[in-house]
């Protein structure tokens, strides 16, 4: 596709046992989970139910049942962070982890009717000029179940201008309920770039 904007990259761990208030600037730096020179802006928000941290390098959201690390600059920092979490926060009951990549493609670069199925009766009721369509695809990839949803949406650019886009959302779901969950997390996140490159490959078709 000629034009595509990557709107987000994140790594998510779903587990019971996270303690959001634990994730303070002092603790993160003391445990060497983030660089000493890392500055937070705006100031972190922390309550018993969630902690939210923002910096130029990443954003972090911690809830009692999940942790989401959003990569904004250095993917290696995120990979190292996720690996370290399994050692620094020992009493977690892991359920799943996921790699997520989101892209926006301008509406006018998607061929009209690309996702329309002429022979399907349901689609016949959407033969309107203002109708828009999407799709959902899923398959196994590496040790994950990959899904790709494509749907029409609206996006706001850095200048505050709103436009019609198609939102391509990749999710790689990895089950952590069977086997050595810490080992699966470590080996999977080590290969994070493989999942990202595969998403990039599909977006280039």
pLDDT at 2 over 80: no
Q: What is the pLDDT of residue 1?
A: 65
Query: Which strands make up the sheet holding 58-63, listed edge to edge?
Result: 45-46, 51-54, 58-63, 66-71, 5-16, 93-106, 162-175, 144-156, 135-141
- Residue 26 or 112, more confident: 26
| Residue indicated by tokens 């770039």 | 193
Tokens of 180: 């050595």
Long-range contacts of 109-117 (CB under 8 A, 24+ apart): 109/1, 109/2, 109/3, 110/166, 115/150
How would DSSP label each residue in 65-81? TEEEEEESS-HHHHHHH
Q: What is the pLDDT of residues 7-36, one digit of tens each?
A: 999 999 999 999 999 999 999 999 999 999
Chain Cα centroid distance, residue 94:
18
Evaluated on CA atoms 197, 71, 190, 176, the torsion sign reads negative
Q: What is the pLDDT of residue 161?
A: 80
Distances from the Cα of 192 to the Cα of 77, 87, 149, 196, angstroms:
12, 19, 20, 6
Q: What is the pLDDT of residue 157?
A: 76
- 119 - beta bridge partners? none
pLDDT at 190 over 90: yes
Q: What is the pLDDT of residue 156?
A: 86
Model confidence band, residue 91 (pLDDT cutoffs 50, 70, 90): confident
pLDDT at 171 over 90: yes
Tokens of 124: 């016949």
Model confidence band, residue 200 (pLDDT cutoffs 50, 70, 90): very high
Model confidence band, residue 73 (pLDDT cutoffs 50, 70, 90): confident
Model confidence band, residue 205 (pLDDT cutoffs 50, 70, 90): confident
Mean pLDDT value across residues 177-204: 96
pLDDT at 131 over 80: yes
């Amino acid at each position: 596709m000629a034009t595509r904007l990557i709107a987000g990259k994140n790594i998510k761990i779903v587990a019971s046992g996270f303690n959001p208030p634990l994730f303070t600037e002092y603790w993160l730096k003391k445990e060497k989970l983030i660089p000493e020179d890392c500055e937070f802006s705006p100031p972190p928000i922390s309550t018993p139910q969630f902690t939210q941290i923002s910096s130029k390098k990443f954003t972090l959201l911690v809830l009692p049942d999940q942790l989401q690390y959003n990569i904004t600059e250095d993917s290696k920092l995120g990979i190292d962070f996720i690996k370290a979490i399994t050692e620094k926060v020992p009493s977690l009951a892991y359920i799943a982890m996921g790699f997520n990549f989101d892209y926006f493609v301008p509406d006018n670069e998607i061929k009209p009717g690309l996702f329309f199925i002429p022979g399907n009766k349901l689609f016949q009721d959407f033969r309107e000029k203002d109708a828009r369509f999407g799709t959902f695809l899923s398959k196994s990839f590496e040790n994950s179940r990959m899904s790709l949803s494509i749907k029409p949406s609206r996006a706001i650019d850095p200048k505050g201008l709103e436009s019609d886009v198609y939102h391509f959302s990749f999710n790689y779901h990895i089950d952590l309920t069977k086997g050595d969950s810490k080992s699966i997390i470590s080996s999977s996140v080590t290969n994070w770039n493989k999942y990202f490159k595969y998403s990039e490959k599909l977006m280039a078709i």
